[in-house]
Structure 1
Amino acid sequence: MTSVARGAVFLAALGDDAVRLHPEIRAQMQVVADSDTAEGVFEIAGSRFGRLAWCAAPVVGPGLLVTRRERNVPFSITTVAAQTRSGRVSLDTAREFRFRAVTQHITDRLTITARPGIVHNVMGARGRVQLLEHCSVTAEGALRMRTHAVSLKLGRVRIALRGILRVDVDLVDGWDEELRRRTINMRATNPLLGTVLEYRGWYRHAQVEPGQ
């Protein structure tokens, strides 16, 4: 594997639209590093279903469920961006939610696709929940990702989740000009259950020298 820019997946998906990103966001995405960490605080984070979320554990597996909902939750994001010999760019992300009584994690792997603006997102440690997400740039220069399609993969069987089974994810990754930090706002909703997971707050990348 070859080290690539930390935001290479998004830059590739956005194509020419990447120039519309806020200059600070674009500059941070262009930093090349073997791995990257960021720290921040969620104003609100979690699921209103609490421990009932564990009911889905046998289906979706570890690294996807959050069973708390609290305010002022410290968190960290660890990412590893890479490019394989075939030229495919990927981004592995691990999010650590440090709730008061327990620490929980959400992991995923993003890869570029041949479709303009679309990335493939494999969620959780077992990769059973998979999304196609559309990347765009808001009027304020933030990165926005919205669900295009979602499916559940069980062994060799892939089940498209539509109608009342569908989960729509809307994420906006922006920039706070006054406080000089990134902002994050994510909400996952289901037509029947409403909001099943949300988090919003801010974060800052650790200082990384280009090329390290």
Structure 2
Amino acid sequence: MSIYQKLLGDSFENLHPKLQERYSFQKDGVFQGKGTMTDIRGARRWMYPFLLLLTRWKFIFPESGKHIPFEIKNVAYKRPDGMEEVKWERMFYFPQVTRRFHAFMTIDPARKVVKDYLGEPHLFYSDLLFTVTSEGGLSISSGSQKLIVGKMEIPIPSMFKGNVEVAEGFDDQLQVYTIEVKITNRLLGNLMTYKGYFTEVDG
């Protein structure tokens, strides 16, 4: 049973069957997909240097574009401490540069949240709340967040948080997975958004 099945419990069965397949990979399991992000929008121009710096941690990036080739790879494994973890690797192939957005997920069964460590090495932490929609899609939103400085985790005040909204689904007509991600901040507005589609491919 995958960490996502454990987290969602009985509601996992209400996901679209293809999303159940996508999120049921267990230890040593891999999901790989290729597709296109039809629209990617970065933050305001004056934030470009800051977001460019974050790319060193394989975190969010400043570029915008349309119809950008995209790859995703999820790998499930057990850490040395026995915790089940899933690594997320997302690659965006802009004409002049490839950007990566990596994350490492475990679950906290007691609080019923996904623990999401963002960047490689870790730079930010966020609680993620997973909900199955009435249409069988997956809705993901962020909770409390922390800045990672060495071994310290510093809580981020609400006004400085990156508010995350993710919608995943499956288009039966086109036979593709769909995704839309929005990362915003109360003070700064849009930090990064992207939406598009992908299909599963063999490794």
Scaled by the length of structure 2, the TM-score of the pair is: 0.89
Deviation at 1:52, TM superposition (A): 3.1
CA deviations on 1:24-76 (whole Å, 9 max, x unpaired) are: 21133335664332101011114133583432566785200312100111110
The verdict on how the C-alpha distance between 1:185 and 1:138 changes in structure 2, with shifts beyond 3 A counting, is same
Partner of 1:106: 101
Is residue 24 of structure 1 aligned with residue 8 of structure 2?
no
Partner of 1:83: 78
SS at match of 1:71: coil
**1:13 partner letter:** L
Partner of 2:63: 68
**2:169 partner letter:** G
Give the % identical residues: 21
Aligned pairs, how many?
A: 202
Name the CA distance, whole Å, in 2 between partners of 1:44 and 1:59: 21
CA deviations on 1:84-131 (whole Å, 9 max, x unpaired) are: 476522110111101111111111101111335301000001212000
Is residue 12 of structure 1 aligned with residue 6 of structure 2?
yes
Partner of 1:182: 177
The verdict on how the C-alpha distance between 1:58 and 1:48 changes in structure 2, with shifts beyond 3 A counting, is closer
The verdict on how the C-alpha distance between 1:104 and 1:139 changes in structure 2, with shifts beyond 3 A counting, is same
Which of 36, 39, 53 is equivalent to 1:41? 36
Written as runs of structure 1 = structure 2, the 5 A alignment for 1:147-186 is 147-186=142-181
Segments of 5+ residues of structure 2 without an aligned counterpart are none
SS at match of 1:54: helix
Segments of 5+ residues of structure 1 without an aligned counterpart are none
**1:147 partner letter:** S
**1:9 partner letter:** I
